[in-house]
């Protein structure tokens, strides 16, 4: 098999809870946001950290629909913008981190696979992570759910496949939307048993890993086409 043929196989990574340890900046960002709401008289009581963790990975409009169901659309849009601003600020301040061995694993994987990111995160947020950690050295495309009218991870992955003429490969992620995106597009579904993963969702993956370095072994065993 030629190197050109090997590069036809792609690995499409989720970002939050897969490459980036969102939990490290989640609590402080959500606290920032709800402090702002408290200051403007739009919220009373504790910040709903646990509720957010339970829905981690869904697009932000769905987050605010869950956390702020009684608030106006105007307030939700203001909260959305502020939350994104604080996320980026915390990333640029170095308060987050990639999962262990992320860069080393990607450095090896890029030798035989094209690497993409498909995320429910918004473009400025994804750009902040990619820029801060130098992921652009390994990643050939970063796609945000904001680019898809349907807000569907499956449709987002389908766009990547179409744009880059992908014939085979895998989607790597920690939530059911990632697993479904793989299966809906005829790719291998690799579940990550990381911070926000749920066992009932991981049970639907083709393969489950405990840390990103295991992907190298899967490639060697041809679990992911090569």
pLDDT digits (tens, 9 = 90+) for 34-78: 999 999 999 999 999 889 878 876 778 889 999 999 999 999 999
Q: How many CB atoms lie within 10 A of CB 54?
A: 12
Residues (pLDDT < 50) of the chain are: 1-7
Tokens read off for 15: 């970002």
Q: How far apart are alpha carbons 144 and 106 in whole angstroms?
A: 20
Instruction: Give pLDDT, residue 60.
Output: 84
Beta bridge partners of residue 119, listed in sequence order: 144
Instruction: Give pLDDT, residue 52.
Output: 86
Question: Which residues, in sequence order, are CB contacts of 69 under 8 Å at separation 6+?
Answer: none
Chain centroid offset of residue 119 CA = 4
Instruction: Give pLDDT, residue 1.
Output: 40
Three-state SS for 191? strand
């Amino acid at each position: 098999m030629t190197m050109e043929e090997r590069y036809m196989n792609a690995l499409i990574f989720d970002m939050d809870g897969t490459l980036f340890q969102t939990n490290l900046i989640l609590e402080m960002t959500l606290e920032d946001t709800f402090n702002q709401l408290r200051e403007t008289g739009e919220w009373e009581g504790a910040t709903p950290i646990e509720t957010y963790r339970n829905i981690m990975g869904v697009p932000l409009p769905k987050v605010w629909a869950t956390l702020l169901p009684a608030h106006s659309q105007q307030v939700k849009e203001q909260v959305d913008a502020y939350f994104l601003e604080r996320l980026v600020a915390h990333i640029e301040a170095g308060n987050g981190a990639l999962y262990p061995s992320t860069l080393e694993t990607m450095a090896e994987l890029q030798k035989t696979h094209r690497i993409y990111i498909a995320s429910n995160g918004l473009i400025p947020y994804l750009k902040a992570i990619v820029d801060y950690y130098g992921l652009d050295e390994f990643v050939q495309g970063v796609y945000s759910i904001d680019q898809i009218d349907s807000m569907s991870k499956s449709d987002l992955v389908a766009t990547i496949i179409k744009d880059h003429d992908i014939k085979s490969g895998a989607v790597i992620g920690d939530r059911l939307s990632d697993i479904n995106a793989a299966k809906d597009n005829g790719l291998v579904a690799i579940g990550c048993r990381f911070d926000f993963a749920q066992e009932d969702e991981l049970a639907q993956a083709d393969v489950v890993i405990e840390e990103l370095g295991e992907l190298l072994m899967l490639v060697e065993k041809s679990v992911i086409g090569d």
